[in-house]
Structure 1
Amino acid sequence: MAFLVAGTLRVATQMADTQDSLGRKGRYNVQGPRAALMLSSPGVAAAAVTALKDVFQALGFESFESREVPVQGFLEELAWFREQLDAHGRLVGCALVALVAPRGQLWQPQQLVRELSSCGVLQGCPKVFLLLPSGPGATLEPEAFLDGLRELCSHCPHWSLVQLLTELFHRVAEESTGGTCCPVLQSSLRGALCLGGVEPWRPEPAPGPSTQYDLSKTRAALLLAVIQGRPGAQHDVEALGDLCRALGFETTVRTDPTAQAFQEEIAQFREQLDTCRGPVSCALVALMAHGEPRGQLLGADGQEVQPEALMQELSCCPVLRGHPKIFLLQACRGGNRDAGVGPIALPWYRRWLRTPPSVPSHADVLQIYAEAQDSSGKGPASGSSHQADILTVYAAAEGYVAYRDEKGSDFIQTLVEVLRANPGRDLLEVLTEVNRRVCEQDVLGPDCDEPRKACLEICSSLRRRLCLQA
């Protein structure tokens, strides 16, 4: 019993420290030991393994486990890694797992992510997954990607990992043949993840034209929202529409579109951009509707439309090539409800153990794909250059409910509040702060008496800083 109490206290203390650091400083407290695991399938070049070890050391992971196993054995090895961390019982500041396998063999690693997220000593702590394709067909060999990351870690130790990756994506695109390589990150982080051991908030030089998107030309926004049968949705439309106009977007709003109208409105929006007399700097599209278990949106007529098809339509717009494209999706992506994770307080000492609030089970994860995935998530994109410069934000994790009440949705209302207060801040940083606030909220759904948690999913292939201040 004493061991159980001590373990619960350790986890509670760790989560409380993380919560305090995120709330006060906006970044994770990663002072504890860092755990790393490298899994590579047979045949991976020795140069890639060496480059990965150099990256581990550059990020402050002095010791790590390295295993060579077939892709089918990755889950078993990761389960072993999790068990080792839990058995040691030491608080961990951060965990990094690198997976290297032939192109096309390692996509949708959600089972691996869930395995590590269930680790008790990692609750509330950042977990990073680095997915590297290798061998024939890979648009960029792992060692080239890793060498760039290692160099940036050495030169910019005060940058957050997301800042490093955005700069790395820019360099990779310039160096790859024909600009076809398009890395992507997927984040549910609640704060900045700074692994360089250097205070990140010192003043930096003003961003130059090569590091920040130029938004001095036309900005266009399209808001498509199903209002009927969705109480509070009208408040989201009004708040987001007002924000877009304040940020200098020429804003079009359409309410209660049918499934076919969703497609027609996107096609018309793209046509207007294509025929725009002057250059277009940025496009923003918000899709707000009921969602189905596999992520489909429901039009006002109850018919389904695939959001990936809508986003792909705009991603291929010639005038937006090299310019940021923002997609905001306020819709359910399934019927699961997340109770969150946190230390278990035993009844007899719950009164004196001050446990921190639980966090969503999908929070605190950063996945880095050295190649963009296709719209199905089952393989690398065939036209990777069309997948660049895209920022997609989902109001819920895959398979889970997105919450909304008569005042509006947690996601849209929080986004408007944070962005109005910080219009000149990098948008990825803004969204990370939005996610932190959404994760802190306890939600009571109409068919559930217990508090539930929500967590954003942020997917980015941006290659520069993106600031929306008009």
Structure 2
Amino acid sequence: MAFLVAGTLQVASQMADARQSLERKGKYGLQGPRVALTLSSPGVLASTVAVLEGVFRTLGFESCQKREASVQGFLEELAGFREQLDALGGPVGCALVALVAPRGQLRQPQQLVWELSRCRALWGCPKVFLLLSTTPGAAPEPGAFLAGLSQLCGRFPHWSLLQLLTEPEPSPSAQYDLSGTRAALLLSVIHGRPGAQHDVEALGGLCQALNFKTTLRTDPTAQAFQEEMAQFREGLDAHRVPVSCALVALMAHGGPQGQLLGADGQEVQPEALVQELSRCRALWGCPKIFLLQACRGRQRDAGLGPTALPWFRRWLQASPTTPSHADVLQIYADAQGRSSGGPTPGSSDQADILMVYAAAEGCVAYRDDEKGSDFIQTLVEVLRADPGGELLELLTEVNRRVCELEVLGPDGQRRRKACLEIRSSLRRRLCLQAGLRPLPLRGF
């Protein structure tokens, strides 16, 4: 079973036991009520909705609403749900929205996500979207994803949501075997990107510490991005010993639609590079990690949340605002089938992919001329501190730290916010452990 998890959570989302999560650093408090909403299009089987309600109850959601509407009417229904939450007059601990519709009709949920992100009662709280596709003529009973999630929620009620989504059982097989060769490819445009060299040096050193055999190429053209990726794949397929993991860092300017810009100013689609590596036979069943330090649009986020006086902010030692796109988790799956209906890597032939973007969709990714980018520098800092930790949990911590930063944008004196977006079709826990003899980097 493969499915896609995408999101911008700042800390690990502990759903089941609010008291336990409050006692643990790095967990959402969930101090307010937990509310769930199921929006299903006409024709969705009642058994699917019933299983969803059971999952919500097991996860501790006190309020579980369900409404039937056409896919075109989902936005209006969600707006009413948002207004209802804001009218409560107090904070909401967590919101979980299940959207169930025919396959292919939920490919662009950003407008729905943004509608709920506007909810004042949910500022700084997790907003989980479960996007389930249905297939006409499918079996009447819920498929592997819903059945498995329902079973795990009952058996392990204190697991975090990320654990429930990536660990089928607490056993050795639930973790990727990284005993084979690890390979990394760093492609970075340096020219015209002050501070980019600091990211290259920091990430290269991290790859050495994690025992990745690393290739570095600087200032690749758009065509060179594609050629280097193809050579990287061919080299892995020709490797005589097993390969267990690949890491690819793509660092460049970004286009208005999320394209990467080569040193020649020409565009390359990051999805094409992901697809190229997905064809690698040596990596079948192995984790493939992509780090993308590039703008994904031109939006500059001022953040959401209550304003505060300067002395109050200094006393808290934290920013009172939250990035507009933060604290969202999207889960794409098939309600009756065994593979994902998601719009990006997550289908059965594109499993085991982890993509980490330096910015949310449509937003600017920031980089400091003297220090490098917040994303890469924070990533290196967190992974060096705990190289044996579970990678999704560590990336969530990276995002928490990035979300707390305030960036002075080049468009004026107004402070800006940023957050990462993490997309995962991993099927097991992924732990990168250091301690082995570092291998030399080619290209430095």
TM-score by length of 1: 0.82
Query: Do the aligned partners of residues 399 and 142 (structure 1) sit closer, same or farther apart at CA in structure 2, a change above 3 Å counting?
Result: farther
1:421 aligned onto 2:421: no
**Secondary structure at the counterpart of residue 401 of structure 1:** coil
Question: 1:151 deviation in Å?
Answer: 1.0
**Secondary structure at the counterpart of residue 277 of structure 1:** coil
Task: Show structure 1 runs of 5+ residues with no match.
Answer: 1-17, 172-206
The equivalent residue for 1:455 is 419
1:284 aligned onto 2:243: no
Write the distance in 2 (CA, Å) between the matches of 1:433 and 1:141: 37
Query: Do the aligned partners of residues 416 and 395 (structure 1) sit closer, same or farther apart at CA in structure 2, a change above 3 Å counting?
Result: same
Q: Deviations for 1:155-198, whole angstroms, at most 9, x for unmatched residues?
A: 11221001101125xx8xxxxxxxxxxxxxxxxxxxxxxxxxxx
Question: 1:335 deviation in Å?
Answer: 0.8
1:446 aligned onto 2:410: yes
Contact 1:289 1:297 in 2 (8 A): yes
Q: Could you tell me which amino acid in structure 1 is paired with residue 426 of structure 2?
A: L
The equivalent residue for 1:342 is 305
2:196 to 233, 258, 274: 233
Q: Deviations for 1:80-123, whole angstroms, at most 9, x for unmatched residues?
A: 00011111213211001001111111112010000001001100
1:303 aligned onto 2:266: yes
Q: Could you tell me which amino acid in structure 2 is paired with residue 268 of structure 1?
A: Q
1:257 aligned onto 2:235: no
Q: Could you tell me which amino acid in structure 2 is paired with residue 385 of structure 1?
A: S
Q: Could you tell me which amino acid in structure 1 is paired with residue 364 of structure 2?
A: V
Q: Deviations for 1:372-401, whole angstroms, at most 9, x for unmatched residues?
A: 9xxxx9965799223100000000001100
Write the distance in 1 (CA, Å) between the matches of 2:393 and 2:342: 28
Contact 1:316 1:386 in 2 (8 A): no
Write the distance in 1 (CA, Å) between the matches of 2:175 and 2:374: 29
Query: Do the aligned partners of residues 456 and 379 (structure 1) sit closer, same or farther apart at CA in structure 2, a change above 3 Å counting?
Result: closer
Question: 1:147 deviation in Å?
Answer: 2.1
Write the mapping of 1:32-43 to structure 2, written as runs, cut at 5 A: 32-43=32-43
Query: Do the aligned partners of residues 379 and 61 (structure 1) sit closer, same or farther apart at CA in structure 2, a change above 3 Å counting?
Result: closer
1:223 aligned onto 2:186: yes
The equivalent residue for 1:46 is 46
Aligned residues: percent identity?
A: 75
Task: Show structure 2 runs of 5+ residues with no match.
Answer: 1-17, 435-444
Write the mapping of 1:145-164 to structure 2, written as runs, cut at 5 A: 145-164=145-164
1:63 aligned onto 2:63: yes
Write the mapping of 1:58-207 to structure 2, written as runs, cut at 5 A: 58-136=58-136, 142-168=142-168
Q: Deviations for 1:353-385, whole angstroms, at most 9, x for unmatched residues?
A: 98952010100001110059xxxx996579922
Query: Do the aligned partners of residues 383 and 361 (structure 1) sit closer, same or farther apart at CA in structure 2, a change above 3 Å counting?
Result: closer
1:31 aligned onto 2:5: no
Write the distance in 2 (CA, Å) between the matches of 1:109 and 1:324: 26
2:281 to 318, 339, 344: 318
Write the distance in 2 (CA, Å) between the matches of 1:413 and 1:156: 35
Q: Could you tell me which amino acid in structure 2 is paired with residue 395 of structure 1?
A: A
**Secondary structure at the counterpart of residue 224 of structure 1:** strand
Contact 1:92 1:125 in 2 (8 A): yes
Contact 2:345 2:425 in 1 (8 A): no
Write the distance in 1 (CA, Å) between the matches of 2:149 and 2:272: 32
Aligned residues: 409
Q: Could you tell me which amino acid in structure 1 is paired with residue 276 of structure 2?
A: E
Contact 1:134 1:142 in 2 (8 A): no
Write the distance in 1 (CA, Å) between the matches of 2:249 and 2:137: 35
Q: Which moved more, 1:328-337 or 1:23-32?
A: 23-32
Query: Do the aligned partners of residues 304 and 23 (structure 1) sit closer, same or farther apart at CA in structure 2, a change above 3 Å counting?
Result: farther
Write the distance in 2 (CA, Å) between the matches of 1:382 and 1:97: 22
RMSD between aligned residues: 2.7
Q: Could you tell me which amino acid in structure 2 is paired with residue 158 of structure 1?
A: H
**Secondary structure at the counterpart of residue 183 of structure 2:** strand
Greater relative CO, 1 or 2 (CA 8 Å, sep 6+):
2
Q: Could you tell me which amino acid in structure 1 is paired with residue 431 of structure 2?
A: C
**Secondary structure at the counterpart of residue 230 of structure 1:** coil
Write the distance in 1 (CA, Å) between the matches of 2:23 and 2:302: 22
**Secondary structure at the counterpart of residue 313 of structure 1:** helix
Q: Could you tell me which amino acid in structure 1 is paired with residue 322 of structure 2?
A: V
Query: Do the aligned partners of residues 23 and 304 (structure 1) sit closer, same or farther apart at CA in structure 2, a change above 3 Å counting?
Result: farther
Contact 2:134 2:334 in 1 (8 A): no
